[in-house]
Structure 1
Amino acid sequence: MKKTILILDDEVSICMLLQNFLSQDYDVITKNNPLEALEWLDSTIPDLIICDIQMPEMDGYGFLTKVRQRGFTKHTPVVMLSGRSESKERIKCYRLGAQDYLTKPFNPEELEELVKKNLYPIHYAIEW
C-alpha cells in the first residue's frame, strides 16, 4: 500500500509538478486552498504534508499551526515549501512544528530525499 502525501499550494502548476515527481511511488492528493485541505484532513490522515507558505485566505504558518493543534495530525510530518530562503523563515517554520523546509525552485532529487527522510526516518540512509 502506497503512502499518502498531501500537497497544499495555491499555484496549480506547483501542485502538478510535485504530483508528477511523486505519484509513481506515492498516493498524492493536491489541494489549492488551506481551508479545503483542513476539511479534507477531517476525514483522512496523510503520511506527509508538503505545504506552501504564501497562500491567500490562510498562509502556510496558519495552516501548520492548525495541523499541529489537531489531535490526529499533530505528529504528521510537514515539509514547508517557499520561495524565500532566509534563515528566519526556516526557523519560524521549525518553531511551528515543520520537519523540513524546501526552497522554490527546488531540486527534484532534494525533494525525493526529504520525502524519504520524513516517511522512513529510521531506514532512510542507503548505507550506514
Structure 2
Amino acid sequence: MKKKILVVDDEASICLLLENFLSQEYDVVSINDGLEALLWLESNIPDLIISDIQMPKMDGYEFLTKLRKRGFTKHTPCIMLSGKSESKERIKCYRIGAQDYLTKPFNPEELDELVKKNLFPIHFAVEW
C-alpha cells in the first residue's frame, strides 16, 4: 500500500508538478487551500503533508498551527514550501511544528530526499 501525501498549494502548477513527481511512489492528494485541507483531514489521515505558506483564505502558518492542535494530525510530518528563503521564515515554520522547509523553485532531488526522510525515518531504515 502506497503512503499518502497531502499537497496544499493554491498554485495549480505546483500541485500538478508535485503530483507528477511524487505519484510514481506515493498516493498524492492535492487541495488548493488550507480551509479545504482541514475539512479533508476530518475524514482522512495522510502520512505526510506538503504545504505552501502564501495562500489566500488561510496561509500555511495558520494551517500548520491548526494542524498541530488536532488530535489525529498532531504528529503528521509537514514540509513547508515557500518562495521566501529568509531564515526567519524557516525558523517560524520550525517553531510552529514543521519538520522541513523547502524554497521554491525547489530541486526535485532535494524534495525526494525530504519526503523519504519524513516517511521513512532513519531509525526505521532497513539498511544503513
Secondary structure (helix, strand or coil) at the match of 1:113 reads helix
- Paired with 2:30 and 2:124, the residues of 1 have a C-alpha distance of 25
Q: 1:11-42 deviations in whole A, cap 9, x for unaligned?
A: 00000000010000000000001111000000
Secondary structure (helix, strand or coil) at the match of 1:7 reads strand
Secondary structure (helix, strand or coil) at the match of 1:63 reads helix
Q: Is the CA contact 1:100–1:114 (under 8 Å) kept in the aligned structure 2?
A: yes
Map of 1:38 onto structure 2: 38
Matched, 1:119 2:119: yes
- Paired with 2:100 and 2:119, the residues of 1 have a C-alpha distance of 12
Map of 1:9 onto structure 2: 9
Q: Is the CA contact 1:116–1:124 (under 8 Å) kept in the aligned structure 2?
A: no
Question: Which structure 1 segments of 5+ residues have no match?
Answer: none
* Corresponding residue pairs, total: 128
Q: How does 1:1-128 map to 2 (within 5 A)?
A: 1-122=1-122, 128=128
Query: In percent, how many aligned pairs have the same letter?
Result: 78
- Paired with 1:92 and 1:53, the residues of 2 have a C-alpha distance of 11
TM-score (norm 1): 0.96
- Paired with 1:114 and 1:3, the residues of 2 have a C-alpha distance of 14
Question: Which structure 2 segments of 5+ residues have no match?
Answer: none
Q: Which runs of 4+ in 1 moved over 3 A?
A: 123-128
Q: 1:97-125 deviations in whole A, cap 9, x for unaligned?
A: 00000000000000000000000012687
C-alpha RMSD of matched pairs (Å):
1.4
